[in-house]
Amino acid sequence: MISINELRSIHSELNKFNKMKSILSSVLCVALLASNARSQTVCPETPTCDEQQNQQLDGSCNNLLNPGWGTANRPYARFVPANYADGIWEPAHTRSGNPLPNARKLSLNLFGETEMEHPRNTLVSMQFGQFVAHDLSFTADAGGIQCCAEGRVVPRELASSRCLPIEVAQDDPVLGVEGIECMNLVRTKTTLEDPCSTLEGEMAEQLSSVTAYLDLSVVYGNSLEQCNSLRTFERGQMKVEQRNGKPWLPSHPNKTATCNVKDDSESCFLTGDVRSNQSPHLTLIHQAFVLEHNRLAGELAELNPDWDDGVLFQQARKINIAQYQRIVYYEWLPIYLGRQNMVEAGVLPELDGRNFARDYNQTVDPAVDNAFATAAFRFFHNLIAGHLDLVAESQQPTGSIRLSDWFNNPSVLEKDQNYESLSRGMVYQPHDRPNVHLTPEVKHYLFRHGGRVGVDLKAIDIQRARDHGLASYNDYREFCGLPRVTSWEEFGDLLRPQSVGSISEQYESVDDVELAVGGALERHYGDGMTGETFSCILLDQFRRTRVSDRFFFENDSKFTARQLHEVRKSTMARVLCDNTQGLEEIQEQAFFLVNEENPVVSCRQLPVVNLDRWR
């Protein structure tokens, strides 16, 4: 008969064997992926840079010493060592070696779904945040892989090595009732299977497929080829289509594969970013900045008849990006990060005697932090409203649409008077409060595409952070110079009250708590909306994004002093007014709700960027 000690010894050896098997499996998967990726691949050459050239569409040559910095299809930055179970690629386990808590259960147990309106901020403020997020980051993916087909797990022997589906329990109160067993999640492409990666080492680093600069790549694309498909090559204009007396974004050439539409008679738009059709309001923001480019190019053509198409396009793009950067740093970011926080962290520039920024730093790499893209900037998911108001000219709601009815289907914009009604709704409806709740529309019905249920955005955020090997909440606190949490009681001073008791029931140890969970549950920090850990990550990123950008609009020689004075008049309200038919009036600060200090005014009363300075 085998003794207890012998059983323990056998169990220990089995654990060692299983761990080694897991490591070997990961190494084999990565080797196969790398081998497949490297076949018949031609890598781009290091570009030759000219200090006087225009800002490149792919981000190259922004930094003259390191021309590849900030370009598309490069790894995310990682400032805290990755947490992989095998040290290479396998998602983390708990410190004891057990699986981490199920991502869907964490979403259900720690994050509520009660919708509460924000008392001050508009939906356009939240929606602009998604627009900015897409401009900075897009995880490189392998489309079309099914890890969870129609709610059922694809057998391991048939599934791709990229699969990391989220299991759904039978007693799940929403998805389980519908017989859903899993949610699809495909792992992000990494340096290990990228044939052009120059990073040394065997640890996986995920790739972002867009530039790391705030350069409106969501409008212009991330390559010359992509941008050319969006241009008319006449008078500097971007392509638009006229229908029913309105200009629209160009139709996507492959609508049914790109959008959730039945046939080519429905709307699906082609832009610089494939995600532009995700929600009606996001599409409206995209349209506004494309039309703003065309408005600028048209005015510049009148002022400068001798300018050809290329000059008009580049000048209009340069001004459009500058206006956008001004809105991001001076009008929008202070709402969420806090102006005082931004000043203390160096996010806002110090200006010289001529009012130009004086802190451009070519030694700073703009690469987007993996923790920023995969956890901290996803804070905005809590602000999504589940129903979008249709608002009349009187500023009164006349109805609403359900967000999940129109994911990846912008056709609703061309129905009835919805274009005007949804545009007004975006500036008069509040977004949700920044708390531990998410609207059910994204917690249970995200991308349901006509089905009874969809997927859970919060669960996907948690699982994606594991895919990317993000270090723990405590590790990021230490990186930010904050004290590590050593007991569950210490969370009482850090987290929102309703979360303190629950988090200890989900994790084995305080060191197992994940950044995507702990950071999202923190109380707000300083004069911002996010907690101190997320604030640290967000502030650092937006500082690096600015000081590393040679083309940032306030840097010396990018504009004349008089031109810069004009760019600084830019506001979101003016962009929306100039490029939204039927919007004749708006509050001066579009990111804030109407009140006595922020009254509705005629669009004609808003400050105007005087392009005579570019004559």
Residue 381 labelled as part of a binding site: yes
Write down the number of H helices and E strands in the chain.
20, 14
**Burial class, 6, CB count within 10 angstroms (exposed 0-12 / middle 13-18 / buried 19+):** exposed
**How distant is the alpha carbon of residue 369 from its chain centre?**
12
Residue with tokens 């018949």: 40
Residue 345: other Cβ atoms inside 10 A: 17
Cα 18 off chain centre by: 37
Distance of alpha carbon 295 from alpha carbon 344, whole angstroms: 37
Instruction: Indicate which residue of 93, 118, 134, 387 is catalytic.
Output: 134
Q: Is residue 77 within 8 Å of residue 367, measured between CB atoms? A: yes
Q: What is the CA radius of gyration of the chain?
A: 25
The CA distance from 170 to 185, in Å, is 19
134 noted as active-site residue: yes
DSSP summary character for residue 231: B
Question: 560 in helix, strand or coil?
Answer: coil
- Bridge partners of 75, per DSSP, are 207
Q: Let me know: does 120 contact 592? Beta carbons within 8 Å.
A: yes
- In the DSSP assignment, the letter for residue 366 is -
CB-count exposure of residue 62 (10 Å: 0-12, 13-18, 19+): buried
Report the C-alpha gap between 533 and 406 in whole angstroms: 34
> CB–CB of 435/116 below 8 Å?
yes
Distance of alpha carbon 207 from the chain centroid? 14
Binding-site residue positions for heme b: 381
Binding-site residue positions: 381
Q: Cite the active site residues.
A: 134
